Amino acid sequence: MADTVLESRPDLNLDVVRDEIGDVRTEEMLVNMGPQHPSTHGVLRIVLRTDGEMVLEAVPHIGYLHRCAEKIGENVAPYQYIPYTDRMDYLAGMNNNLAFSLAIEALTGLEVPKRAQVIRVIFAEMNRIASHLVSMGAYGLDMGAFTPFLYAFRERERILDLFEASCGARLTYSYITIGGVTDDVPERFIDVCREYLDYFEPKIAEYNNLLSFNHIFVKRTANVGIISAEKAINWGLSGPSLRGSGVKWDLRKVHPDCGYDEYDFDIPVGQGLKGQLGDCWDRYFVRIQEMQQSVRIVRQALDKLAGTPGEYKHKSGKSVKLPKDEIYYEIEGARGQLGFFIQGDGSQIPYRVKARGPSYCNLSITNEVVKDCLLADVPAIIGSIDVVMGEVDR
């Protein structure tokens, strides 16, 4: 480049000029991406070491949302801790409630009524759809597409209306609790939910036409941020970030809880349709396909709920005593495997509580994927991993 500029000046003696300026060299530069950058999806700071437009290293700096969530769990009764789980992955609160409740129930041997199990499946899958809608819409924003964000939130609002009618909350629900759910579904819930699914399912094809198969979006995400199946496993990825690399692993099939083995659904995996297997586009498209599968599961659960009378909660859920034992229990959350380690000492207060958040583990691969890519590709890569910082920092 320097030689081209010099050669455009015939009035200069090039040998003299080169002797004066010497060799043209570049210097590495540190670029702070975040913690207020919109593409970091929360208060995440990533320090990028760059050489021109190339990223040589990416170091995540976390902890801005640390709230001692695990230590709080060691000072309150399990049913009192349910609202704190909502604040971890605040886009999928129902799934967080479910993971902690199942861990306590497995530790204490508490039996959950059949009707409560069906209700749990409905709300966990509806929350998965709502979470993936935010992921899809925000990812479109990262790539410069504004309209999909509006479409996604339009559909999500109707899901939140159903949640609000059932538990009174639209973001932090505390609905799934120890022994079942806090209340039965409201009147006409089944009919309204079916109407929504009939409305929502055709919208997925619209998202594909609007964003998934958009030429510019494909160019920005295909063959970018490639994670091989071996690398995904070695780095402990889970959820869509793992399945986007072609690994067919989903705890709803491998270790079914809440009767997931009674439902018919598929596990979408990346297939390299638009580029190399395991790229950003594959991870994104797995979430689009998962929304279709969640619709299938909810339809079956609604049919099952109509024919499953009985209690919606075990009456002793609030008064459980934890035995002198320990357990680790995990489920398939919206972003991957969400687990809780709980150790009891014979009282109602856990001795030790530890959460395994999928966003934290998925974020760990950032440097491995981002290095040697273009600076402009960093938002595409981070957005495809889909982290929620409340779950990372806890």
Domains defined along the chain, listed by start: 59-393 (1.10.645.10)
| Per-residue model confidence as pLDDT tens digits over 220-239 | 999 998 999 999 999 999 99
The pLDDT score that the predictor gives to residue 142 is: 87
How does residue 176 score in pLDDT terms, banded at 50, 70 and 90?
very high
| Per-residue model confidence as pLDDT tens digits over 298-323 | 999 999 998 888 888 888 777 788 99
| Per-residue model confidence as pLDDT tens digits over 105-139 | 999 989 899 999 999 999 999 999 999 999 999 99
> What is the 3 state secondary structure string of 55-117?
EEEEEEECCCCCCCHHHHHCCCCHHHHHHHHHCCCCCCHHHHHHHHHHHHHHHHCCCCCHHHH
Is this structure's pTM higher than 0.85?
A: yes
- Is the pLDDT at 25 greater than 70, yes or no? no
Mean pLDDT of 22-39: 75
Mean pLDDT of 259-275: 91
- Is the pLDDT at 17 greater than 50, yes or no? no
> What is the 3 state secondary structure string of the chain?
CHHHHHHCCCCCCHHHHHHHHCCCCCCCEEEEECCCCHHHCCCCEEEEEEECCEEEEEEEECCCCCCCHHHHHCCCCHHHHHHHHHCCCCCCHHHHHHHHHHHHHHHHCCCCCHHHHHHHHHHHHHHHHHHHHHHHHHHHHHCCCCHHHHHHHHHHHHHHHHHHHHHCCCCCCCCEECCEECCCCCCCHHHHHHHHHHHHHHHHHHHHHHHHCCHHHHHHHCCCCCCCHHHHHHCCCCCHHHHCCCCCCCHHHHCCCCCHHHCCCCCCCCCCCCCCCCCHHHHHHHHHHHHHHHHHHHHHHHHHHHCCCCCCECCCHHHCCCCCCEEEEEEECCCCEEEEEEECCCCCCCCEEEEECHHHHHHCCHHHHHCCEEHHHHHHHHHHHCCCHHHHHC
How does residue 22 score in pLDDT terms, banded at 50, 70 and 90?
low
In percent, the amount of the chain with pLDDT more than 90 equals 59
